[in-house]
Amino acid sequence: MTVAIVVLIVSFALLAGAVWGAFKGLNDRTEGFIVAMAGGALIVSVMDELIRPSTESAQLWIVVAAVAAGAVVFTGLDSWVKTRMAGAGGLGLLLAVTLDGIPENLALGTALIGAKPLEIAALAGSIFLSNLPEAAGGAKKMTKDGMSRGKAVLIWGVTAAILSAAALGGYFGLEDAPTEAIAAIKCFAAGAVTASLATEVFPQAFRDDRYWTGIAVTCGLLMALLLGQLGG
């Protein structure tokens, strides 16, 4: 029950952000700052809550290979979706934002296996923080491009449902899996998240917020460090 609550709270940020962006709007610089802060927090939580713990239950070569595979697969799929679905309207947008969010939510689900919610506070907080401005900015752009507010919110609501399923599937589907397999999947998700930071998060943040991005990333890093101490 606690696991479901954590997942739903994190995914709810997508729906709340979409409503915020569609009906009120979000300043580009504010969005960029929050996105960069979330990215900084994810750097810490990916290493401390996914990769480093995995080295205790899997051989180092498995950890390295899984992280690299996650980065390669995400980059390839992201490039394919952005190229092939550019003119697909709402469906293309749904696929793009879902692909961006699946690694984070799969990571959240697997990280919860055998852990208490406070032990993954940094990861959950980072994903929540990244979901809110991503949905707000996306919904704002959709409405500017002529999409109705209701449809924009609906798309993000469907996305939230899909990503909740990914997180819960990662938890319940792998709960009884061998520890080495869980470690490999965590590292695969970590590699995908790292690739998304490089190709999606930080470029967008710098485009919107320029040189405040460095301050925001540092704030996020420190936030994750403090949240990580809650489960220590």
Q: Decide: 107 and 193 in contact? Cβ < 8 Å.
A: yes
Which one-letter amino acid corresponds to residue 129? L
What pLDDT score does 85 carry?
A: 67
- 180, 59, 184, 13 alpha-carbon torsion, rounded to 10°: 100
pLDDT per position as a tens digit, 112-165:
887 776 677 788 888 888 888 888 888 887 888 788 888 889 888 888 998 898
Cα–Cα distance measured from residue 140 to residue 122, given in angstroms and rounded to the nearest whole number: 28
What string of DSSP letters covers 82-132? HHHTTT-HHHHHHHHHHHHHHHHHHHHHHHTTT--GGGGHHHHHHHHHHHH
What pLDDT score does 117 carry?
A: 67
* 214-224: burial string, b at 16+ Cβ within 10 Å, e else: eebbebbbebb
- 170, 101, 4, 32 alpha-carbon torsion, rounded to 10°: 140
Residues 6 or more apart whose CB falls under 8 angstroms from that of 91 comprise 85
What pLDDT score does 75 carry?
A: 92
Using 70 as the pLDDT threshold, list the residues of the chain that sit under it.
1, 25-26, 85-94, 117-118, 230-232
What pLDDT score does 210 carry?
A: 79
Which of 38, 190, 52 shows the shortest CA–CA distance to 127? 38
pLDDT per position as a tens digit, 189-199:
999 999 989 98
Q: Decide: 209 and 36 in contact? Cβ < 8 Å.
A: yes
What pLDDT score does 89 carry?
A: 57
Residues 6 or more apart whose CB falls under 8 angstroms from that of 195 comprise 70, 71, 72, 74, 75, 78
Give the number of other CB atoms < 10 A from CB of residue 25.
Answer: 15
